[in-house]
Amino acid sequence: MRWVCVSGLLLVLLHLSTSLLLGAFNIQTFGITKASNLVVMNIISEIVCRYDIILIQEVRDKDLKVTIRLMTAVNNRCPQYLCIPSKPLGATSYKERYLFLFRVLTVSVVEPHTYTYDDTRNVPRHDFYGRFSYPPFIVEFSSKQTAVEKFVLIAQHTSPDKAVKQINALYDVVTDVRKRWDNNNIVLLGDFNAGGDYVSRPRRKQLLLSKKNGFHWLITDDEATSVKTGNPYDRIVVTDDMMKGVDGKGEVFNFMEEFVLTEQQALAVSDHFPVEVKLKKKTVAETSTVNRDHDDCVGEPAVTMQHSID
């Protein structure tokens, strides 16, 4: 296994001189068992340290113990990150959290701009979560280093058998965000299951986010975001306004190749690779000081917390 050991100070300098990096990573069944595996957590924390903002999905964490272990591992390796966890979400006994981690030196949260999309309006009573298995979790971030200073991230993990329906429903989420916050700098990201048998290439082109003007799919149908199948399940989609702040194209971070892992070792981490995109820096450098006098996790809405937000 090849590791790149970089001091916290050097990491800070690197991120001040390069584009802001945004990522999304479905860590398969990320619960206490995986969080207790030192080797796996070393790999996960090394991956997280690449990003200024990263969305983690499939967090199986009723009491935030997994989240606390992750934050400890990450901040021991490359301080300083904060996190914003969603509530446990899911219409059945199986629950997942979305979890945003962000580097405090480069990014902040526009408070109190976080919410879980309410899809229970105008749906049958038995359809508790409406169209989504795990309702989108939405956070507005800001960075004084990026060309687009304020931008909204919409996290979504679809169910494979409902992928088309749930991806199409994201169009309404975008509309809701625009009305709430008057911000069209929007990024939709996560495991959309938008590939393989779940969403074929012809079907993907018929999705609302493909047919409607004003959206750009930064992870293409030719990318392999799955460790085993090579399918493009994980995606990043941006609006026209947000596209102006994107630096280049979306990428897949193949940590199996980067860290010289076997397939078995990679699958112990996840069956997905992270997807990522760079955001353009401002043409004129600006600096700011960071005032950190709170704990590592921020609640929903964004408040200081170190305990469960259930």
Q: Of these residues, 15, 113, 157, 272, which one is catalytic?
A: 157
* Cβ count within 10 A of residue 113: 19
In the chain the beta strands, taken as DSSP E runs, fall at: 20-30, 53-59, 81-85, 97-103, 108-116, 137-142, 150-155, 186-191, 215-217, 234-239, 246-252, 275-279, 297-298, 304-305
Residues in the chain: 310
Q: Of these residues, 46, 58, 96, 300, which one is catalytic?
A: 96
* Closest C-alpha to 58, from 85, 22, 80, 19: 85
For residue 63, the 8-state DSSP code is S
For residue 189 the two structure tokens come to: 């990201």
Does 223 qualify as catalytic in the annotation? no
**Cβ within 8 Å of residue 291, ≥6 positions away:** none
Does 96 qualify as catalytic in the annotation? yes
Cα dihedral 272, 191, 302, 180, rounded to 10, equals 160
Report how far residue 46's alpha carbon sits from residue 77's, in angstroms, rounded to the nearest whole number: 8
Residues known to be catalytic: 96, 157
